Structure 1
Amino acid sequence: MEKGFVFLDEVIPGIRWDAKYATWDNFTGKPVDGYDVNRIVATEELANALKEVQKEANQMGYGLLVWDAYRPQRAVDNFIRWAAEPEDGRRKEIHYPNIKREELLSQGYVAAKSSHSRGSAIDLTLYSLKTNEMLQMGTCFDFMDVKSHHTCETVSKEEKENRQLLCDLMTRHGFVLYENEWWHYNLKEEPYPETYFDFPLSGSSSK
């Protein structure tokens, strides 16, 4: 693994994760290039900030569930190729029911260069430590629709409050929200703002 990057599970005790792009449960319908293991990788700086988020969340009775952080450029390229393919309908109703696959780029849900590839972006949610149930946020992860926007007014009061709770936790510890996705945050002081990495996620933590 590249120097300056870590596995979140090795540096944040108790962190939970489900690396969707290493599985069949994502908007492409199959594992994505570069995700050789179901683990989460990020810069050391993001991990340190997230550790503080989890500490405060735990005190409030919540835990963090992470879906993605560092994303190899080859995975982003995989998304671009997928977006250009004919619609097969396998994941449309789950992830992008109201727009066409080829519109995902122009609508800002898929990009040729992703902040994730710089290593300091993260996709996550909250769950209850008491019940182990995820908080209701109004949509699933990677639901590419206006309903996922922070400004959406059609979600319930509870869902809006849960989104705000996550937002408050993240922004208090150095993260910036992405307006179109309630689950996505960027580290404000990211260490590699101009570098898009392409090393794969593998089982080894050594470079």
Structure 2
Amino acid sequence: MPSYSRQPYKNPRGFTLLELLIVASLLAIFLSLGLPAMDRLQVSLAIRSDASRLVSSLKTARSHAVLNRVDVTICPATHSENAENIEIAHASACGGDYKQGWLVFEDSDGDGDFTFGVDHALRREGALQSQVQIRNRDGEHSLTSGLSYRASGYVVPGKTFVVCAPGAIPRKSWLVVVSGVGRVRSAVEHQRCVV
């Protein structure tokens, strides 16, 4: 008679279908909780980035006005073309709103508008990120007016910019405040950005 020997039980390799389904359902739950938070984080970072660009432009304008004893204006650009040499490309003039970007220039003729051949462009910022807007203090209207620094560094007129993103959920907005003496400060505030 042949003898049959018992082989020791070997653990099978791999996962059972039940184990795979449990892991897949846990992964789906974690992703459904994490993705909305990731979207909010992305919008929050976009707001902060654009607010920082605006603060940097305002500080550049004030610094240039004081150091060179000239009037410097920052105004919303007419379109979002990003040109390295703004005067050669004729890429912008004042108009529109800050969503399309902005222009910083020496305002030689003092009219608050960029005049080719008369005014000297200092800086051109491109369009805001897709969800971000720059509004008035109440957050209700897009800003369309410029801001002029005098040679003394004072501003005519002082202004508060609200950098925000419209949406159903109120998000943190960044306030960029330019005082009458030309100082720029920024602060975080819970502000609804009305569409």
* TM-score bucket (shorter structure): under 0.3
Between the two structures, name the one with larger relative contact order (CA 8 Å, sep ≥ 6): 1
TM-score by length of 1: 0.22
Larger radius of gyration: 2
TM-score by length of 2: 0.23
